[in-house]
């Protein structure tokens, strides 16, 4: 059953006029949003928060699925909004099999880092990395 789908139950509606047979009963399906899982046809999407060091170093982390928790290996160097696929962990398809679950990585930063954490971030900032905004600024100037 899909959101917005209309289902018909033949012969279960109101009685017909003049003693005629009952009509059909129609249902309009509206699926309430879930706080964790989003549906895209037969696929499921979950946003997974990660600490910056988990994305940089890689980790093995529990991820909720419709059938329980599985462990997902996050590779070192993962990026925010990167999609990872859990094959067959989605909803059943009408044609057989199951859709997939997509895990969207969301790198979050500490809201109130300790002074020690702050110092570590300041040390990291001293490393010479390419500016991640350079392409964005260059392309904006060319348009």
As a whole number, mean pLDDT of residues 106-122 equals 94
Distance between CA 122 and CA 101 in Å, rounded? 37
Query: Taking residues 107-125, what's their average pLDDT?
Result: 94
Domain housing 9: 1-32
Instruction: Say if residue 55 is in the same domain as residue 38.
Output: yes
Q: How confident is the model at residue 5 (pLDDT cuts 50, 70, 90)?
A: confident
**CA contacts within 13 A on the Cβ side of 14:** 3
Residue 135 lies in a domain: no
50-62 residue pLDDT tens? 999 999 999 999 9
| Residues 91, 39 contacting (CB under 8 angstroms) | yes
Q: Do both 102 and 77 map to the same domain? A: yes
Whether residue 124 lies inside any domain: the answer is no
Domain CATH code at residue 47:
2.60.260.20
22 and 49 share a domain?
A: no
CA neighbor of 46 nearest in space, from 90, 96, 2:
90
Q: What are phi and psi of 128, to 5 degrees?
A: -85, 95
Task: Let me know: does 72 contact 58? Beta carbons within 8 Å.
Answer: no
Based on the domain organization, do 42 and 102 belong to the same domain? Answer: yes
């Amino acid at each position: 059953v899909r959101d917005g789908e209309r289902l018909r139950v033949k012969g279960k509606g109101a009685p017909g006029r003049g003693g005629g047979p009952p009509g059909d009963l129609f249902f309009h399906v509206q699926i309430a949003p879930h706080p964790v899982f989003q549906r895209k046809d037969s696929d499921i999407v979950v946003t997974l928060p990660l600490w910056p060091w988990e994305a940089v170093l890689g980790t093995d982390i529990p991820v909720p699925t419709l059938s329980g928790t599985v462990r997902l290996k996050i590779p070192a160097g993962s990026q925010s909004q990167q999609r990872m696929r859990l094959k067959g962990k989605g909803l059943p398809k009408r044609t057989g099999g199951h859709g997939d679950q997509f895990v969207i990585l969301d790198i979050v930063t500490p809201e109130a880092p300790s002074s020690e954490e702050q110092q570590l971030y300041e040390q990291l900032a001293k490393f010479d990395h390419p500016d991640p905004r350079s392409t964005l600024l260059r392309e904006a100037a060319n348009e």
